[in-house]
Amino acid sequence: MGKTKLAPQSETSVPRLELCAAVLAVELADLILSELDMEINSTFFFTDSKVVLGYIGNEQHRNPADSGTRSIPATQLSTTAWLKGHLFISKPTFNLSEPKPHCLVDPESDSEIRPKVATFTSYCSPVWLEGHRFTRFSTWKTVRRAVARLIHISQSFHRSDTTDDCNVWHYCKRPLPVEALAQSVNIIVQSAQRDIYTLEFSCLSENKELPKNSQLRKLDPFIDNQGLLKVGGRSRKATLDHSDIHPLILPGKHHVAVLLIKHHVAVLLIKHHDQLIHHQGRHFTEGAVRSAGFWIVGGKKPISRIIHRCVVCRKLRGPTQIQKMADLPGDRLSFEPPFTNVGLDVFGPWPITSRRTRGGLANSKRWAVIFTCMSTRAVHIEVLESLDTSCLINALRCFFSIRGPVKIIRSDQGSNFIGARKELDIEYKPEYQHCK
């Protein structure tokens, strides 16, 4: 199958016509292969134009040609190589491993080759910093000072009166001005707001109503002249500071709120104010944050989470250590009759009316001594008129007469107990700290 085309009327160079012929050969081969009902293992293309071969062999600029464009009589057309192919094709083997011919024309200076143009697109970053930059800081003070120094460096590029110490990129050792620190807070908060509340910013900037599922819908937010998102409300005419009436909105999931929580700005802020109030708890920390002019959306959960992970807070609110109690003495675990082993103590006093006099009622005090069985926990109480030894001995005699003899008596070694022990000649064993 053969095919040819007429050269266009527009002036076209011979190398480009040869390339068009090569393209036509490839298209014709694709058509033949699609119509044949047999599998073709390989296909070879031949051209008599070394320029075309050079174009095809070129690694940077690529292109292809044929015999149908030559001035050949129709009577000789059947015997030309265009229909029968070259003679080496009919040979049993032919070598196709010859090196590719080099391009005969310099691709850079050839007018037929379209110039290779590379275009680059540059995208400017937004005016606010991205939130992931704050995750490398662990405290609110360090991130604020870092942004303030960055502001100072950027301003040094635009000042004409810069000294040798403050020129372009440098680390300024001078104290940071208050204005730079205040401006750094606005930049940090704005970056945190832009990361989370993109939809709210677009709606407020276009004077549209916030969507119903927005977390800020109940806060009546607005954008101030510095591009910051603040809490609205009905207290605009109050005689308070502007930061108290309209605090800055911070997302509760941003890392200025919590360092483990997805973003970093809210975490640093909460940690900073938790240290300022000396770790007094969630209510004081939340109040300190709001007094500083910040409103953290859903701030109770991140504040509680940070306080729960704060080492100092956990130490201050941790449970007290409980000392393990010693083993019970043997008389507490014995299976003996009630009041065989007892413990006693005195409690009181109570004011009572002892007698009537001409001047009125005479009041006096009374105490009581309690006897407790060490095994059954039964209780016996005797009244004492005073705390001297004689009154205690009378109470002991009353107890012995009612409950029977006692093997062991345990007490706290009060002065009246010691006097009664010596008076009654009761054996004392200090190694067990009890009387027998």
C-beta separation of 246 from 219 below 8 A: no
Q: What is the pLDDT of residues 334-355, one digit of tens each?
A: 889 999 999 999 999 999 887 7
Mapped onto helix, strand or coil, the DSSP state of residue 221 is coil
Q: Which of 77-86, 97-106, 149-158 has the highest mean pLDDT?
A: 149-158
- Number of residues assigned to the chain: 436
pLDDT-based confidence at residue 315 (cuts at 50, 70, 90): confident
| C-alpha–C-alpha distance, residues 296 and 309, integer Å | 19
Structure-derived torsion over alpha carbons of residues 47, 50, 54, 57, reported in degrees to the nearest 10: 40
Residue 339 in tokens: 């009041």
**Backbone dihedral angles phi then psi of residue 409, each to the nearest 5 degrees:** -120, 125
Residue 125: DSSP 8-state: P
Give the per-residue pLDDT at 59. Answer: 57
Residue 268's closest CA among 125, 151, 127, 146?
Answer: 146
pLDDT for 391 equals: 93
More reliable by pLDDT, 102 or 134:
134
Residues 6+ apart with CB under 8 A from 374: 329, 331, 332, 334, 341, 342, 343, 408, 410
Beta pairing, strands 294-296 & 248-250: parallel
Query: Are 251 and 257 a contacting pair, CB within 8 Å?
Result: yes
Q: In this model, does residue 55 exceed pLDDT 50?
A: yes
Tens of pLDDT, residue by residue over 225-274, are: 888 888 887 777 777 777 778 888 877 655 554 433 335 677 788 888 88
Question: Residue 304 CB: number of other CB atoms within 10 A?
Answer: 15
The CATH H-level superfamily of 334-354+362-435 is: Ribonuclease H-like superfamily/Ribonuclease H (3.30.420.10)
- How high is the pLDDT of residue 338? 92
Q: Is the pLDDT of residue 390 over 50?
A: yes
- What pLDDT is attached to residue 431? 53
Please state, rounded to an integer, the average pLDDT across all residues of the chain: 79
pLDDT at position 259 is: 35
Q: CB of 346 within 8 A of CB of 368?
A: yes
CA–CA distance, 253 with 352 (Å, rounded to integer): 68
pLDDT at 65: 40
412 dihedral zone (left: phi>0; alpha: psi -120 to 50; beta): alpha
Q: What is the structure's pLDDT at 201?
A: 83
Look at residue 382 in the predicted model and tell me its pLDDT.
95
- Structure tokens given for 336: 């003996």
State the pLDDT at residue 436. 42
State how far the Cα of 172 lies from the Cα of 312, in Å rounded to an integer.
34
CA distances from 228 to 180, 248, 288 (A): 17, 7, 21
Q: Which structure tokens are listed for 300? A: 């109770």
Alpha-carbon distance of 66 to 53, in angstroms, equals 12
For the chain, where do the domains classified as CATH 3.30.420.10 start and end? 334-354+362-435
pLDDT higher than threshold 70 for residue 48: yes
Whether residue 406 is predicted with pLDDT greater than 50 in this model: the reply is yes
**Residue 62: its pLDDT value, please?**
44
